[in-house]
A and B are shown apart, each in its own frame.
Chain A
């Protein structure tokens, strides 16, 4: 009789993480589309509002943050969708390990292929939108703290709507109001930095939200997944 090799909790989280990252890397359009969207939204503003350099510099913070938010939103629906369709999500639910930790691994892999890449890409947008140099550091820090929050909060919505045929628009409706604090503190930090004021308070608040979300959101995601699968 074959002896089943049972991976430890940490190993199983790592397996989930590796698998999701590999899947994301193999479907390159899913990986690239939100990033292209991120850049394209930002180019629409100079064309649609004004190419004026000073005006753009003033609204650059908001544009970058809103574009990042929308790009994340675009990638959210795919977070559990394919796993739900091919049944591997049920296997995840049936595993003997606490679901909220496995889910956390999934959210982390989503952040790596969405939020982290957006953060790396932000200087491109900052240059074409003439973001003042003083704002770069704050923008980097706020995106690093804020985008994981977007993934965590968004995962709750994705988990709630995964059982539905048309979850896309509904997902944005559910999640956008919850994104507002992230947007406010993210842009607040950059705005303060550009005006030469201390911006650590905004970043600290983002950090507080992040800690809260890492602690609490996985429970909501796990509960939502159980509801979606059972229903």
Chain B
């Protein structure tokens, strides 16, 4: 297998140049997919026979919850790559993905609360899934706090990568333990995992919406990463050329 692409990824300049071409298409895809998914999901999909129109929030809630978790895994994997192969770009990727993941976690928690009020009659329940998402948010906060506590960038990257990896081990534990913990007190009636078999008219916009969120995530992630590359490589010739072409 040819590993050249992997080594090229170690070069911030190569990365900056190649993603330059992707940005437009990613932006276009995100806008198109998002608008189609949102209009279809929020306006045209049939209302649920039990929950009426309030179920429509899943078109935002489910994709953001997906990404909140996927982003953490990605962050930890990027951190591990940075630790093992000392790849600058991986360190930067881990750093810039944390605030995005935290935002998606907050979005998932907020939409969940908004959905919970009419459906469960309460903004917050100490349910398995809710609590584990809250903990995920705290893990993101811890990562960001540790990242910003160090003056030295490479120390910050190494330390926070170790923390991200430790937290990664904890994610499935948090999820399941809270489920077991709650079933002792009350039967788990309210879990978001057990989705009733969805009608196709609802499933298609949901899948579209997930695809749209993934596109949007990649777009924001690359934008932040490109900015981070410029900031960290500000002393190099190629960045100076981009920022001040005439000098």
Contact = CB atoms under 8 A, between A and B. Distances in A.
Contacts of B173: 181, 209
A192 interface: yes
A192 B184 contact: yes
Given A227-B159, A227-B162, A178 B146 contact: no
B108 to A, nearest CB: 17
A137 to B, nearest CB: 18
B190 interface: no
Interface string B129-147: 0000001001101100110
B57 to A, nearest CB: 26
Interface stretch (A5-13, A19-27, A31-39, A168-176): A168-176
Contacts of B163: 156-157, 160, 174
Interface in B157-210: 158-159, 162-163, 165-167, 169-170, 173-174, 177-178, 180-181, 184
Instruction: With a 10 A CB-CB cut-off, give which of A156, A212, A231 has the most chain B CB atoms.
Output: A231
Contacts of B152: 231
A174 B162 contact: no
B235 to A, nearest CB: 21
A184 B166 CA distance: 19
A63 to B, nearest CB: 17
B159 A170 contact: no
Secondary structure of the B contact surface, majority rule: helix
Interface in A184-231: 184-185, 188, 191-192, 197, 205, 209, 212, 216, 220, 223-224, 227-228, 230-231
A40 interface: no
B149 interface: yes
Contacts of B159: 160, 224, 227-228, 231
Contact of A205 (B146, B177, B178): B177
The secondary structure that dominates the A interface is helix
Interface residues of A, number: 33
B155 interface: yes
Nearest to A174: B142
Q: In the A-B complex, list the 6 residue pairs whose CB atoms are closest, starting with the nearest.
A: A231-B155, A177-B138, A174-B142, A227-B158, A184-B181, A181-B177
Interface of B: 83, 135, 138-139, 141-142, 145-146, 149-150, 152, 154-155, 158-159, 162-163, 165-167, 169-170, 173-174, 177-178, 180-181, 184
29 contacts: A160-B163, A161-B149, A163-B150, A163-B155, A170-B145, A170-B146, A170-B149, A173-B138, A177-B138, A177-B142, A177-B167, A178-B167, A180-B135, A181-B170, A184-B177, A184-B178, A184-B181, A185-B181, A188-B180, A191-B184, A197-B184, A209-B173, A220-B162, A223-B162, A227-B158, A227-B162, A228-B159, A231-B152, A231-B154
